[in-house]
Structure 1
Amino acid sequence: MVSVRSVVDRMGPTLLHALSLPEDCPAVADVVIAEPGGVSAGDLVLAVSVGDAAGAVELVRHCAAKGAAAVLLKPPLANKPAVRRAAGSAGIGLVEVRAATSWAQLVWLLRTVLDAIADETESLESGGDPSAGDLFRLADAVASVVDAPVTIEDTNSRVLAYSARQDLTDPARVSTIMGRRIPDDVLARFRSRGVFRDLSRGRQTIFVPAQKDGTLPRLIVPIRMGGELLGSMWAVVAGPVSDERSAAFADAAPVVALHLLRRRAHADGRRRASAELLRALLDGRVGPRRAAAELELSDEPHRVVVIDVPASDPAGAEGLRLTLEERISQGVGRRPVVTELGGLLYAVVPDDDGPGSWAELRAALRQSERTRAAAGGPGELSELGRSRAQAEETLGLVRAGLVDGRVLDFDEVWTAVTLHRAATAAATAKIAELGPLGTLRAHDEAGGTEYVETLYESLRHPGDPRAAARALRIHPNTLRYRMRKIQELSPLDLDDPDVRLALLSQLVALRWA
């Protein structure tokens, strides 16, 4: 059982402050956004859209009637006397969310904390070490050693855990915890001071003095195991730290390293299991109902995304896969659903605008100049096979240079798909070998002319020689000259619509097949 008090304590005063918690407060079961009919027993209810005290009072009473664990409100609503009285009389927890906290980030953080407490409880029930997966508790222990608030971060400056007392830090630390990673501007300042260079070189401790913008001093320790940098610990200190305290802080690094290795092993196992299940789902070896339950896929429409990773850069491919998993797993309750098939990365993503969606993943993929990717059309989980086929067909067009762009979805290229399918069928029937087209092709091959391409663009732009010339990047007079030469080589009745249609079908087969 997870109590509201344990969640608030774990989140720390930087983000949450308990205003009232009844002794018989229900155990926490889930985190939900306040909406009509969306509250159940044991929920932590986030009052995202409540705008006044009357609405807050009504929400508190409604949540209490549904057996929710607590209502989370931002100031000034959380401290309104009417709201506090309503919570007290209804017997429901009332928690204040710090004003600067992002609701979206808070949902993600609450889920992280609930998962951590659940892992700890599961370990206790199985007779294991309850601290094995509890980096938050370890961060508290390290903070007591160095007598300063601490964060534990991975090699990408993402926050894995943080200690209590973060309210005694600076805005940079608060932003780091709220965003779960060091903000880019703060990261740039530490990088300019050579902090990350020193981390990679293996210095035992790194002291960074206070900065002009008000950022307090930092004492930083790399976390290593077997020569590999696994992450780092950052303590916000008042000033220079004694050698004894610095050494004690550094001595904690090997213990943290063991936890990070266990965490990575667990994540690797989870990722492998998810990848294998996704492969089975895409291949039709497992039903969508089982896959949806184990991969925690929602009932909303999803797309299959296929990503072409340069084979010449295995390190970059691994980094891209990890980035994909991070992007896709940002959504609340979502597990990374990424796998590899035939040298390509496949992902299943929701067709919405939320975290881990196709819209967000697409924006991220477009930032890489080397990445080529395609998404199939949206559909139910039972239709993922169709979405996969569409994604693969679209990527084929991208690879062949038949469409403009590196990251596309099937809906955008339906005209190209139609032409390509028609051309493929026409090529099988060998229609390009019929009629006088062979004479023009032979002339182009022998003399280096471009009569076939000229005829194609002229037929694509009937009655508009200027547009056809622009497509060929030639002058309209040059286009007219070429068309006269084409008529001399192979007299064609271009006034006959059937002739034009037959020629265009042949040219499409040559160009798109």
Structure 2
Amino acid sequence: MSDNKRESFNRQFDSLEEFVDTISERLQCPVTIEDSNHHLLAYSSHDDGTDAARISTIIGRRVPEKVINRFWKEGVIPTLNQSDEPLIIPQINDIGLGNRVAVSIRKNNEVLGYIWVLEVGRKLTDEDLADLKFAASKAKNQLLQLNMQKKKKEKNHQELLWQLITGDARDHKHIADQLSKIGVNPTKPLAVILFNFEVMSDDLYKKLVYVAKTTQKVTILIQTLDENQVVFLVSSPASNDFVKDTKEFVETFKAQVRERFGIMEVTAGCGYAYDNYEWIKRSYDEATKVITLKQTFTKELQSAAFYHELGVFRYIDLIRQTIKEQEMTVNPAIRKLEKYDLEHRTNLLETLGIILDKDGNMNEAAKELHCHVNTLNYRLKRIQEIANIQLKDPVQKIGLYLDMKVYLKR
């Protein structure tokens, strides 16, 4: 880059828009600047030669989810995150993406954002690429200022979120006013979603927030970290089916965390969305209950996300408390099978538990026990004889199922 051209980037800029226009003028191509979560910060003008991906980004003010996912699969974003060199990206027609060059804006190892250049009518030369890299180094200061402002806002937002989920903020109008001040539409129903992880670090937390904010099933309004638990205050997008949208978000989030970071153990709990913001704490409590029970009954509740999906396990604490207060004895059927197993070195109690877990589906139960169905039918007959129970009686069956869950998870 000549000294004259370098001076054009060394000067002070009144805005990112002015800066991005300077890059576009130098490279004679349309340019966009995004933050680290792929939200659009500034873009230059373009003619009719632009592509669908750029248009969607400008209209939605963020890169479309399908484009981000494809960039991850193609290794584009991981490469940008690990280097400050410009990356040439060939066109990908099925997502409406033309030929591009991208470079990360970074401070040391921290990615602050990205510059994207759409090659329209020309290919960038080696000199162009060197100039783009230099421009990215100059964009650092502007994005650092934005990041400082963003972090200050996030701290205030997190304080508000803690007030909501602890019940310190109780008045709907006051909460709505506070949310309105931080740019949240106070007419939408809001909910809390929780994700529990086995380990946590500042770096992982940033990555998790990135995944959540680029998975565009729900809108993340505020997020915070509570030890190993990530807390999101969310609203649903255009769809009226919040439960469906949220379950899709949870599954997509878990899949992307697994694929990108190799994290297999993620426990999710979702609260319902409420118009009355005094009930945001209720949403948090619902999500917490889901997390707590899923951690205890991992196998039984692995597909549950919402409180209603807990089924009879919603009442497990009441059953435990009743048993404790009334000093009730353990179901005699369980005692009899336990005694028989101990004396005869059998596993009839475990067999009964699996049959109940499979809702009486003998084929599925036999697969899990690695035995023939005929063998299992014989065992079931012996179980009913020894324990003096009838599993065809739904009252006995449901009661025994709950008794075993309470007893075996003591």
TM-score where L is the length of structure 2: 0.71
Q: Residues of 1 paired with 2:227 and 2:77: CA distance?
A: 40
Structure-2 residue corresponding to 1:324:
212
Deviation at 1:306, TM superposition (A): 1.9
The one-letter amino acid paired with 1:376 is G
Structure-2 residue corresponding to 1:390:
286
Q: Residues of 1 paired with 2:105 and 2:407: CA distance?
A: 59
Structure-2 residue corresponding to 1:293:
177
Structure-2 residue corresponding to 1:139:
20
Deviation at 1:287, TM superposition (A): 2.7
Per-residue deviation, residues 278-333 of structure 1 (Å, max 9, x unmatched): 111111122343333222353444333222123167644432233335558975xx
The one-letter amino acid paired with 1:257 is K
Per-residue deviation, residues 219-249 of structure 1 (Å, max 9, x unmatched): 5444333354433323334334566655554
Of residues 43, 54, 61, the one that matches 1:162 is 43
Distance 1:486 1:277, change over 3 A: same
* Native 8 Å contact 1:154 1:231 kept in 2: yes
The one-letter amino acid paired with 1:386 is R
Per-residue deviation, residues 11-52 of structure 1 (Å, max 9, x unmatched): xxxxxxxxxxxxxxxxxxxxxxxxxxxxxxxxxxxxxxxxxx
Deviation at 1:169, TM superposition (A): 3.2
Higher helix share: 2
Quick one: percent identity of the two aligned structures? 19
1:270 aligns with 2:153: yes
Structure-1 residue corresponding to 2:191:
303
Q: Residues of 1 paired with 2:389 and 2:93: CA distance?
A: 80
* Native 8 Å contact 1:166 1:174 kept in 2: no
1:467 aligns with 2:360: yes
Deviation at 1:136, TM superposition (A): 2.2
CA RMSD of aligned residues (A): 4.6
Deviation at 1:416, TM superposition (A): 2.6
Deviation at 1:162, TM superposition (A): 0.7
Structure-2 residue corresponding to 1:258:
141
* Native 8 Å contact 1:207 1:240 kept in 2: no
* Native 8 Å contact 1:444 1:452 kept in 2: yes
* Native 8 Å contact 2:193 2:231 kept in 1: yes
Query: How many pairs align?
Result: 373
Q: Residues of 2 paired with 1:261 and 1:271: CA distance?
A: 15
Of residues 228, 232, 236, the one that matches 2:114 is 232
Deviation at 1:384, TM superposition (A): 2.5
The one-letter amino acid paired with 1:383 is W
* Native 8 Å contact 1:154 1:230 kept in 2: yes
Structure-1 residue corresponding to 2:312:
415
Distance 1:219 1:377, change over 3 A: closer
Q: Residues of 2 paired with 1:446 and 1:312: CA distance?
A: 46
Deviation at 1:261, TM superposition (A): 1.2
* Native 8 Å contact 1:176 1:183 kept in 2: no
Match runs of 1:343-358 below 5 Å:
343-350=228-235, 354=239
Distance 1:311 1:288, change over 3 A: farther
Q: Residues of 2 paired with 1:413 and 1:451: CA distance?
A: 27
Of residues 250, 266, 271, the one that matches 1:376 is 271
- SS of the aligned residue for 1:252 comes to helix
Structure-2 residue corresponding to 1:360:
245
* Native 8 Å contact 1:139 1:152 kept in 2: yes
Distance 1:173 1:511, change over 3 A: same
Distance 1:460 1:307, change over 3 A: closer
* Native 8 Å contact 2:348 2:379 kept in 1: no
Give the stretch that moved more between structures: 270-279 or 448-457: 448-457
* Native 8 Å contact 1:328 1:349 kept in 2: no
Q: Residues of 1 paired with 2:380 and 2:127: CA distance?
A: 86
Structure-2 residue corresponding to 1:223:
105
Q: Residues of 1 paired with 2:208 and 2:68: CA distance?
A: 24
1:283 aligns with 2:166: yes
Give the stretch that moved more between structures: 148-157 or 206-215: 206-215
The one-letter amino acid paired with 2:149 is H
- SS of the aligned residue for 1:467 comes to coil
* Native 8 Å contact 1:303 1:350 kept in 2: yes
Distance 1:344 1:358, change over 3 A: farther
Q: Residues of 1 paired with 2:98 and 2:143: CA distance?
A: 27
Distance 1:192 1:411, change over 3 A: closer
* Native 8 Å contact 1:419 1:512 kept in 2: no
* Native 8 Å contact 1:353 1:359 kept in 2: no
- SS of the aligned residue for 1:408 comes to coil
Distance 1:320 1:432, change over 3 A: farther
Per-residue deviation, residues 449-476 of structure 1 (Å, max 9, x unmatched): 2333555678899xxxx93644642635
The one-letter amino acid paired with 2:212 is L
- SS of the aligned residue for 1:164 comes to coil
Deviation at 1:143, TM superposition (A): 1.9
Of residues 70, 84, 108, the one that matches 1:202 is 84
TM-score where L is the length of structure 1: 0.58
